[in-house]
Amino acid sequence: MPTITVDDVSVIRQQSDYVGTRDLPDLASHPSQRGPSCGFSALDFVFGYWYKVRPPSSPLVQSLPPRTHRTVAAADSAQKISKEAKQKLADSGVYTSLRHYAKVRGYTNVGSVFSAENLLLVAKQVPPAQYDGQVLTVRDRDNFVAQVETRLAKVRTSR
């Protein structure tokens, strides 16, 4: 898998004439992840971007956090939600985080998701099911940048 750096994304932000790239969040200021939850942190980043650039009339709502306690564990056991309570929430269609949703659906046991396809399923299904996407295969860093630029050009022409 090619390594994509903060600088790569910064170059795309600076060189693209697509106005949406200027709204990309600063990767360096994004909260650190806790534990094996990088996929959910990445989804959170993408969801945050789309929420930020949504039109005022959009029904898009803020998504769930990547995990219940985002960067540090709960300070005390009073803040923790028991597994039984989380299961009751899930049984009623309520989830505390993207990770919680994925665990209930069987996409992960611990918190790490090693399949882009499963992350896409979480993005499409997590209530209120407001995102869509596709999995892209990239050969190398340059191919990644080219694919991003191609997709941005398609978005530009469809508006």
**Domain-by-domain residue ranges, the chain?**
6-61+81-145
- Choose among 7, 6, 24, 8: nearest CA to 143: 8
Confidence of residue 50 (pLDDT cuts 50, 70, 90): confident
Q: What confidence category does residue 155 fall into, taking pLDDT thresholds of 50, 70 and 90?
A: low
d(CA 25, CA 13): 10
* Burial environment of residue 113 by CB neighbours within 10 A (0 to 12, 13 to 18, 19 or more): buried
For residues 115 and 98, what is the distance between their CA atoms, to the nearest angstrom? Answer: 15
- Is the confidence at residue 72, as pLDDT, over 70? no
pTM check: above 0.85: no
Angle between helices 38-53 and 116-125 (to 10 degrees): 40
SS3 content of the chain, % helix, strand, coil (to 5): 50, 0, 50
Phi and psi (nearest 5°) for 89? -60, -50
Confidence of residue 159 (pLDDT cuts 50, 70, 90): low
Q: What is the mean pLDDT of the chain?
A: 76
